[in-house]
Amino acid sequence: MNRYPVPAEETRTEIRVSNSRFIATAVPAFSVAEAKTFIQRIRREFSDATHNVPAYHIGFGNRIIAHCNDDGEPSGTAGRPMLAVLQGSGLGDIALVVTRYFGGTKLGTGGLVRAYTDAAKAVLSVLPLAEKVPTHTTMTAVPYPLFEQTKLLVARHNGRILDETFAADVTLTVQFATEQFPHFQDALRQLSHGAIQAEIIETDENSIMPIGTFAVMP
C-alpha cells in the first residue's frame, strides 16, 4: 500500500539570525503546479522581502520530483540546504519557502547555510502531520445501547467520525484506512452478534488522515 506522511496544513514559523528574519512557510503540495502556485503566493505576500527561497519535494520514495533555487542568495547557500532538510525528513508532498528580511549583517556562506537549514528545521518541528493513505468512507446504523461501544471500536481501529445522525438509531459516517476497515467490520459483527455491519459508500486512494507532529532530528 502506498502510504506516507505529508503535511496536514500550512504552517509558519520564524527565526532570527544576526538581525535577519527568516520566515519559513510549509504546505502540503501534491503536484508541481500546486507547489508553484504556493511559491508565487508567498512571493506576493512578502513582495518587500530580500529573498523568498523555495524548495519542494513532490511524491515519495523512488517517485520524487524535487526542485529548489537560491533566489539571489549565493549559489548553494539557501535552496539546496532547505531541500536537503526536506529530503531527510521522511515526508512527501511538501513545499517550503523561507523568506528573508536582511538585518544589516552579512552571514557569510556558512552562516547562510546554517540559517536556511535551521529555518527549515524550525517549521518542520511544529508541522502537523497527516498520512496519505487509501480509505473507505462507511455508514453504519447503530442502536442506542451499542452507540458508545461502537465509538470505542472506531477509535480502536483509527477511524475518523465524519458525521453522527440521531434518529431511531444513530447513523455514523466514518472514514477508515482500507487496511483497518475489515478489522473494524469483524469487531462490529462480534459486538452486535452479527446484526450490524458497516457499508462502504466511498473509496479514496489518496485521503489525508491526521497522524500527529513531526520530530526533527538534531
DSSP code string of 12-68: EEEEEETTEEEEEEEEE-SSHHHHHHHHHHHHHHTTTSSEEEEEEEEEETTEEEEEE
In CATH, the architecture of 131-211 is 2-Layer Sandwich (3.30)
Q: What pLDDT, on a 0 to 100 scale, did the predictor assign at position 2?
A: 66
Considering only residues 120 and 159, tell me which one the structure prediction assigns the higher pLDDT: 120
User: How do the domains of the chain map onto residue ranges?
Assistant: 4-127, 131-211
Per the CB < 8 A criterion, the answer to whether 82 and 48 are in contact is no
- Say yes or no: do domains 4-127 and 131-211 share a fold: no
Label residues 179-189 b or e (16+ Cβ within 10 Å = b).
ebbeebbebbe
Q: Which of 207, 187, 212, 210 is nearest to 197 (CA)?
A: 187
Per the CB < 8 A criterion, the answer to whether 148 and 105 are in contact is no
Mean predicted confidence (pLDDT) in 150-154: 95
Mean predicted confidence (pLDDT) in 168-176: 95
Q: Between the CA of residue 196 and those of 102, 112, 137, what are the distances in Å? A: 63, 61, 16
Separation CA 70–CA 87 (nearest Å) = 17
Confidence of residue 4 (pLDDT cuts 50, 70, 90): confident
Separation CA 116–CA 171 (nearest Å) = 50
Mean predicted confidence (pLDDT) in 135-156: 95
Q: What pLDDT, on a 0 to 100 scale, did the predictor assign at position 217?
A: 36
Look at domain 4-127 and name its CATH class.
alpha beta
Alpha carbon dihedral 167, 170, 174, 179, in 10-degree steps, equals -140
